[in-house]
Amino acid sequence: MQFPAAQIALIVSGKVEGNPETSVDSFGKIEEAKEGQLTFFANPKYEDFLYSTKASVIILNEAYELKHPVTASLIRVPDAYTAFATLLSKYQEIMQQQLTGIQQPCYIAKTALYGQNVFIGAFAYLGENVKIGNNTKIYPNAYVGDNVIIGDNTIIHPGVKIYNDCKIGNNVVIHGGTIIGSDGFGFAPQADGSFKKVPQIGNVIIEDNVEIGSNTTIDRATIGSTLIKKGAKLDNLIQIAHNVEIGNSTVIAAQAGVSGSTKIGNGVMIGGQAGIVGHIQLGDGAKVNAQSGVSKSIESGKAVTGSPAFDYTSALRSQAASRKLPELEKRVKELEALVKQLLAEKVS
């Protein structure tokens, strides 16, 4: 399928510089793109490739001034990276719209309901009273338990498991291997040293426009709901414990873990391999550096690092000071020697 530069410019609200009829049929990285492909330039590190790429169409920032002539047709936009992401989303949407129908074999309970233009892949399981919205895609080997509700335009990738009673919103993407609604880690210690399981009878609610990476686990609440709010983005291999709440547009990188009943505000950024204890709060806009261990609540807008995590700026100062310790030790020894010399001269 061919797309002319003029049509692409309409999609990304850009302006064509060059031949508007130049057509492309695929995408390519700027350093590898071939004739007939589209690429983008946003990172100055790749500036040399802007002038050597063989791509036919290039998206770039409107403020960028060319240093040499280019042969490709250009599409000028305010933000090339965002425009390219918009274009990829549109392309993906077009491709996914072609995927509809119900493959066999699969199991769909008689009480399950689904909307228009859905796709249900082979070996998928839809339990009793499941409700699936319009244009939603359930890929092969997915499990959707009893009473689960999934909204419109949502994508459930292969191997995802959604336990009973959970609710998934509109425009949600859940990647392969992720488990939604498994039991929270609740065990009551007994007098004899054993542990009695505390039944986990709540659910998980995932609101609109959330994306969850592969092999992430989100535990159901003991009672009530584990809640992932609108626009949150979770990476691969993340553990979210029971009764956690994650705020709007919060992002969490891979291998992070959030313990039970912790409340995370809106617009929070949590780096990879960070660990967060239970029953604390992270205020809106807080930032947690990678591999940090957060053991107490964080105020809104505050950045922390380290284990245990503390103020980011103070941590950098401490690191800078620690690098100077050998020099400081040397100076202390010199001062000690000088003091001894002065005392000896005074005595004599």
Q: How far apart are CA 264 and CA 227, in angstroms?
A: 10
Task: With beta carbons less than 8 A apart as the criterion, state whether 306 and 298 touch.
Answer: no
3-state helix, strand, coil in the chain (%, to 5): 20, 30, 50
Query: Which run of H or of E encompasses 96?
Result: helix 80-97
- What does the angle CA 27 – CA 80 – CA 71 come to, to the nearest 5 degrees? 60
CB 142 within 8 A of CB 159: yes
What's the CA gap between 286 and 175, in Å, rounded? 26
Active-site pick, 68, 157, 175, 242: 242
Extended strands (E) in 54-153: 57-61, 73-77, 101-102, 107-108, 113-114, 119-120, 125-126, 131-132, 137-138, 143-144, 149-150
For residue 242, indicate whether it is catalytic: yes
Q: Residue 87: left (phi > 0), alpha (psi -120 to 50), or beta?
A: alpha
Integer Cα distance of 259 and 238 in angstroms: 11
| Residue among 224, 247, 222 at smallest CA distance from 234 | 247
Q: 197-220: buried (b, 16+ CB within 10 Å) or exposed (e) per residue?
A: eeebebbbbbbbbbbbbbebbbbb
Length of the chain: 348
Nearest to 187, CA basis, from 200, 173, 198, 171: 198
Q: Report phi then psi at 26, rounded to 5.
A: -165, 180
* Torsion sign (Cα): 63, 64, 66, 72: negative
| C-alpha–C-alpha distance, residues 28 and 72, integer Å | 13
Catalytically active residues are: 242
